[in-house]
Amino acid sequence: FQRDIPKRLSYVDTLTGEWKRNVETPIYFGSQWMALTYEFVHYVIRSMSHPNGLGSVLKDTLIDCNVQMTDESFFATLLMNSPFKDTLPKLNAEDKSLLNYPSMKSLRYERMDENAPNAWGKWTGSNSLYDIPPKFKSATDGEGPAKPWGPYFLGLYDLGDIKDSGALFIRKVSWSVDENLVRMLPVVRSEKEEE
């Protein structure tokens, strides 16, 4: 979709008040799962609120070009075209671990490798490490119907990989799938879960 979007934009830097004229503004892509600083969130809000802020100009440009952009691209584009790009963690070139936290390979641990559609629409994958409980055939903790691919519920068998990843967050766990993993994790349980 980038070919339909102007490569250069003019906007006001809402941090400095400086007018940026005809600045090369590449489109970036990242994860929709982000850990954002208060300062960057405040910058995004100001940028969207100011009629000439980068966020507002980018939004208007996309509308004018009749182009849709996902949150994975929108926030990554705002970040990488702002002074906040320098706040991204620096990676070790050899193993892609964080320079300041060498044991951490990612902020989030998840597994998405069990099933995937191939080019002919058929599902391929390995044998599941667990059966999806009947409850999840129609709904998954309010997330909608269970899907035959992508992030699947973690179990106790994932504990070693979770620890090795050094990640701060994991996705997805459920009492109904493996209550032992949930019991081992430092989680706050709602009154409903404890019943």
Beta-strand relationship, 108-109 and 169-170:
parallel
- Cα dist. 112→55, 102, 187 in Å? 32, 24, 22
Q: How many CA atoms lie within 13 A of 194 on its CB side?
A: 5
Model confidence band, residue 21 (pLDDT cutoffs 50, 70, 90): very high
Beta-strand relationship, 8-12 and 19-24:
antiparallel
When the pLDDT of each residue in the chain is averaged and rounded to a whole number, the result is 77
Burial of 130 (0-12, 13-18, 19+ CB in 10 A): middle
Model confidence band, residue 44 (pLDDT cutoffs 50, 70, 90): very high
Of 86, 19, 83, give the one whose Cα is nearest residue 57.
19
The C-alpha atoms of residue 8 and residue 18 are separated, in whole angstroms, by 16
- Over 90: is that where the pLDDT of 39 sits? yes
C-beta neighbour count of 99 within 10 angstroms: 10
Residue 11 token pair: 């906007």
Report the predicted TM-score, pTM, of the whole model to 2 decimal places.
Answer: 0.62
The C-alpha atoms of residue 85 and residue 99 are separated, in whole angstroms, by 16
State mean pLDDT over 105-126: 63
Instruction: Name the residue with higher pLDDT: 129 or 73.
Output: 73
Question: Helices 38-49 and 54-64 sit at what angle, rounded to 10 degrees?
Answer: 50
Is-contact 35 107, C-beta < 8 A? yes
3-state secondary structure of 154: coil
Burial of 26 (0-12, 13-18, 19+ CB in 10 A): exposed
Q: How many residues does the chain have?
A: 195
Tell me if the bond preceding 172 is cis, omega within 30° of 0.
Answer: yes
pLDDT exceeding 70 applies to what percent of the chain?
A: 73
Of 100, 77, 90, 107, give the one whose Cα is nearest residue 7.
77
